[in-house]
Structures are given as structure tokens and as C-alpha cells.
Amino acid sequence: MALFKKRTAGKPGEWYYCLEHKKVEEGPECPAKNRFGPYASREEASHAMETARERNLEWETDPRWHETTGKDATPEE
């Protein structure tokens, strides 16, 4: 018998979006590598993919990630 039970991270009352099953789950049902969260409510977790898309778009268009100064910049003449 094992001394320590392997536990999936998370607590009941926390909501997650499972990327493998494509559904909202409460508490530690699936491994952390397969989910987004925790979220405060079921509703918030149900919009996880939309939230991720919005954040990705913000990061892709953030000028701080596309600076033209530094070693990779083309020298100005």
C-alpha cells in the first residue's frame, strides 16, 4: 500500500475546463496538464476557450512582443 495517494491538483468548488473531454468540471477530475483553470464559477469556466482566444490575440498584437529595437533590429540609415 502506498503511503501517499497521488492527487490531482484542485479542490471541489473550483471550476475547470477540460481540454481532453471539452467540458466543464468541478474540482480535481482530470490531470492539470489537460485543463484550464481554476475559475470562480461554472459560467466562467464554460467560456475558457473564448477567454484563451482573446488573450492570445492580445498577446499577438501587443507591441512589447514585437519590438524592433535590440540585436535583431535592422539598422537605420
* pLDDT of the chain, 77 residues: tens digit per residue: 556 555 555 677 899 999 999 999 998 788 989 999 999 999 999 999 999 999 999 999 998 887 765 555 555 54
66, part of any domain: no
Residue 50 identity: E
Residue 32 in grid coordinates: 492539470
Q: Hey, which residues does 52 pair with through a beta bridge?
A: none
Asked if the structure places residue 76 within a domain, the reply is: no
Q: Is residue 10 part of a domain?
A: no
Q: Does any domain span residue 68?
A: no
Residue 44 inside a domain? The answer is: yes
Q: Domains in the chain: how many in total? A: 1
Range of the domain at 39: 15-61
Residue 26, helix vs strand vs coil: strand
